[in-house]
Amino acid sequence: MFDLIIRNGNLPDGRKGFDIGVSGGKITAVEKTIAAEAGEEVDATGRLVSPPFCDPHFHMDATLSLGIPRMNVSGTLLEGIALWGELRPLLTREALVERALRYCDLAVTQGLLYIRSHVDTSDPRLVTAEALLEVREKVAPYIDLQLVAFPQDGYFRAPEGAASLERALDMGIDIVGGIPHFERTMDEGRRSVEALCRIAADRGLPVDMHCDETDDPLSRHIETLAAETIRFGLQGRVAGSHLTSMHSMDNYYVSKLIPLMAEAEINVIPNPLINIMLQGRHDTYPKRRGMTRVRELMAAGLNVSFGQDCMMDPWYSMGSADMLEVGHMAIHLAQMGGIEDKRKIFDALTVNSAKTMGLTGYGLDVGCKADLIVLQAEDILEALRLKPNRLFVLKGGEIVARTAPRIGELFVKDRPSSIDSGRDFVPRY
């Protein structure tokens, strides 16, 4: 017997009209027709049923702070960092928790149930770490939140950067961050990568660094990160976030770099929304796009997963906790509009991110956690095109959010009376 059955869903791999049975919080059957009853049934009406979205790169301590204490006038990364420095002394635990919880409310309705957030550890008060650890516990019933100790002002560059990062790890933050391109010199950046990988190896923790988030083609900390990953035996447990300098690097150098990254099993996390907003700011025309080399990295077998990075904070005034918006932008920036391309992009928002985050029990196989979403689209290609409503969001087999389908009513002579954008325009390839 089942606690819940989702009827007539299309699966991300293209299988259509399947039932998914759930018992004890897990998926216990995926069949064309489940001939049994359940305590509760969800009719997917031939729409896409997917595992939930995962965001492997976010800043939950900064989200929803837009305009406090002022706006970012130049719109650059560096003014964003300066503005965050103005806001930081004003932060209180209560306000941080309140904003993060509000963000998580939105994330759940968007089917975003796994989030990795960086937590700025530059202020020795560590009020950010205290707040986000509290949030991690509060949202645990509906969101799995991973936290990265992130020395925003530099591991060496901030007065107490190194000590604060270690204290944050002692408090229970479980991933080691870094920002080598923001240290004072290239050499300090290189040494920060080495020191942080050593801490991760000693503590048995993963690494996730903001790495080479710059247009400078000579910012090559990813090379050091890959080499240190191998030296400390951290293969598969290290993520390089952004890697935007790779966009501008010399092609010959990249032909040596990508195989090194593959050898180190680096998880690559581009952040398309932020990358197109912040990179190329010092260019006149033509302006570089700035996102790392997604197509080439995927082709080399590297695990690429996309992050949202920011929503309504000193760096980015936009955002809606919608990973399909992230994927939509990635398709444009990477020029990956083909059918197979889009499949890879959808994977980058789901299974690849789950791999980056080291999740277990994620997916649609029998035995996986019953974390599932039903979207107002028939397949993943349409989901990426439309960024449709998430009709049902389930965590551990329980419905945690529901949104009505978006139906437009039309009052035009001799035309239909309503439009379901997720159903009425599906292409037949």
Positions marked catalytic: 213
* Site stretch for Zn ion (CB under 5 A), options 2-10, 260-268, 304-312, 359-367: 304-312
Alpha-carbon span 374 to 393, nearest angstrom: 7
Looking up tokens 């419905």 gives 399
Least distance in Å: CB of 210 to Zn ion?
5
3-state helix vs strand vs coil in the chain, percent to 5 = 35, 20, 40
Record the tokens describing residue 115, joined without a space. Answer: 């989030």
Could you tell me if 26 and 371 are in contact, meaning their C-beta atoms sit under 8 angstroms apart?
A: no
Amino acid code (one letter) for 6: I
Least distance in Å: CB of 274 to Zn ion?
7
Least distance in Å: CB of 167 to Zn ion?
21
Reported in sequence order, the residue ranges of 163-206 that DSSP labels E, i.e. its strands, are 175-176
Cα-Cα end-to-end distance for the chain: 39
Residue 212 in the binding site for Zn ion (CB under 5 A)? no
| Secondary structure of residue 354 in the 3-state scheme | helix
Pick from 6, 1, 27: nearest CA to 18: 6
Burial class of residue 310, CB neighbours in 10 A (0-12, 13-18, 19+):
buried
Looking up tokens 């204290």 gives 167
Residue 213 in the binding site for Zn ion (CB under 5 A)? no
**Which residue's CB is nearer to Zn ion, number 309 or number 347?**
309
Amino acid code (one letter) for 327: G
Least distance in Å: CB of 242 to Zn ion?
7
**Which residue's CB is nearer to Zn ion, number 314 or number 327?**
314
Q: Give the nearest residue (CB) to Zn ion.
A: 309
* Site stretch for Zn ion (CB under 5 A), options 196-204, 221-229, 308-316, 404-412: 308-316
Residue 309 in the binding site for Zn ion (CB under 5 A)? yes
Could you tell me if 155 and 123 are in contact, meaning their C-beta atoms sit under 8 angstroms apart?
A: no
**Which residue's CB is nearer to Zn ion, number 183 or number 309?**
309
Alpha-carbon span 66 to 318, nearest angstrom: 9
* Site stretch for Zn ion (CB under 5 A), options 4-12, 201-209, 259-267, 301-309: 301-309
Q: How many Cβ atoms are within 10 Å of 60's Cβ, its own excluded?
A: 29
**Which residue's CB is nearer to Zn ion, number 309 or number 379?**
309
**Which residue's CB is nearer to Zn ion, number 239 or number 384?**
239
Least distance in Å: CB of 345 to Zn ion?
20
Size of the site for Zn ion (CB under 5 A): 1
Record the tokens describing residue 285, joined without a space. Answer: 């025309």
Least distance in Å: CB of 310 to Zn ion?
7
* Site stretch for Zn ion (CB under 5 A), options 7-15, 157-165, 306-314, 340-348: 306-314
CA 412 → CA 193, 409, 417, 419, distances in Å? 62, 10, 8, 12
Alpha-carbon span 225 to 387, nearest angstrom: 35
**Which residue's CB is nearer to Zn ion, number 309 or number 371?**
309
* Site stretch for Zn ion (CB under 5 A), options 46-54, 89-97, 183-191, 307-315: 307-315
Which parts of this chain interact with Zn ion (CB under 5 A)?
309
